[in-house]
Structure formats: C-alpha cells, structure tokens
A and B are shown apart, each in its own frame.
Chain A
Amino acid sequence: AQTVTQSQPEMSVQEAETVTLSCTYDTSESNYYLFWYKQPPSRQMILVIRQEAYKQQNATENRFSVNFQKAAKSFSLKISDSQLGDTAMYFCAFMKRGGKLIFGQGTELSVKP
C-alpha cells in the first residue's frame, strides 16, 4: 500500500522569504504522479503543482517548484517570495496511474507580514 508522510505539521515564514515543505512517500509502483494541493481557510482544494514520476525534470509553476528525488521517494515543495495569500494548509498527494489520490496529513503554513 502507498503512504504519504508530511513530517512538518506547522511552518511559518516571513513575507517575501522562501520556505520548503517536505514530503516523503512509499510505493512499489513505477508509474505514478505526485501533487501538492493548497487548502486555504475557504476549504477549497487548489492544485499547486504536479510531477509525473517518469519525468526527471522538476516541475515549476511561477513561485512554486518541487525537488523530486525518485530514488529517495522525496517530493518537497519550495515557495519563493512568500505572500500573505500563501497562508494555507498544504497537502502532498500520490496517485498511481488510474488510481486514487492518497494524501499526507498536511502542513499548515503561515506567512507573516
């Protein structure tokens, strides 16, 4: 069975600084996808970034980038130039091809002015 672990329940960062959220996963699958979702206080789940396991290049979306280490089964999210609107719960998620999303427990990120 696949598992996703986020070891940082809470983190805080000053506005405009950079923060990295950690995620590790366990799977025997070779073909899968990894995601970071953001859930602000409104509770709307928003996709931040996705990574296909077969791609070696790390995904980037504007201020958000990932460090995907397939052998180490690590998938961290880096947020650059943090903004107040980045305050939210962040979930790391795993999905094998044709499967369901398996979420980590989440990291609550606070961006302080």
Chain B
Amino acid sequence: KAGVTQTPRYLIKTRGQQVTLSCSPISGHRSVSWYQQTPGQGLQFLFEYFSETQRNKGNFPGRFSGRQFSNSRSEMNVSTLELGDSALYLCASSLVVQGENEQFFGPGTRLTVL
C-alpha cells in the first residue's frame, strides 16, 4: 500500500506570494492533518480534515487555509507569505475507525520564503 505523498517536496517563494501544497493520503484513510515544523516553534498543528470537513483547527492566522476533496486528497494554502512561514509542512493521514487513529506522515514539503 502506498504511503502518504506530498507535492511538491521543495518550494521557494517570495514574500507576499501565495502557495498551495498537496497531500494524498493512504488509500482508505479519510482524515488528513497538517503540521508546521520550524526550529523555533517545533511541530504545530494547523488543521485536520475529515470527509471534506474541517474537524480541528490550530492557532494559525487566516492566511493558512485548507480543503479536502471527495477522494480525501487535501490541499493547504498560505496567502501573503511571510518570512516566518518558512518551514517543513507535514501532512498525516489516519483511518479513524473504531478509535484507531494512528497518524502516518508524508515526507513533507519544505517551503522557503525569501
């Protein structure tokens, strides 16, 4: 079974631009969560989508948004990029059946904002 895939793997943008990151979960997984990892703040939860609905949300500004499609693939969008948005963005999928909630992570997208 294929793992979680994220595209692109690397991205360089300039301040003020916007960016869209994509995540394809493991087949059959309906929950997708996004995390931001930075040296200063560590791993922080952005949001979770389940069956195309945002189920949980972290403490990030409205510039960070996401969505999930009917095939469970998810996208994350960051508008008006700031230097501080440079980070590794990790996506994780889980089955969420009968309490089974182990999260499987993708390889991440490294975003650099210049």
A→B interface (CB under 8 Å): 33, 37, 42-47, 50, 91, 95, 97-106
Contact = CB atoms under 8 A, between A and B. Distances in A.
B42 interface: yes
B104 interface: yes
Nearest to A106: B42
A42 B65 CA distance: 27
A105 B38 CA distance: 11
A33 B102 CA distance: 9
Q: Which DSSP category, helix, strand, loop or mixed, fits chain A's interface?
A: loop
Interface of B: 33, 35, 42-43, 45, 48, 56, 58, 88, 90, 92, 99, 101-105, 107-108, 110
A106 B58 CA distance: 20
A105 B43 CA distance: 8
Contact of B101 (A46, A95, A102): A95
Given A99-B56, A100-B58, A43 B102 contact: no
B107 A44 contact: yes
Nearest to A102: B45
Contacts of B107: 42-44
A89 B3 CA distance: 21
A78 to B, nearest CB: 21
A100 B56 contact: yes
B45 A101 contact: yes
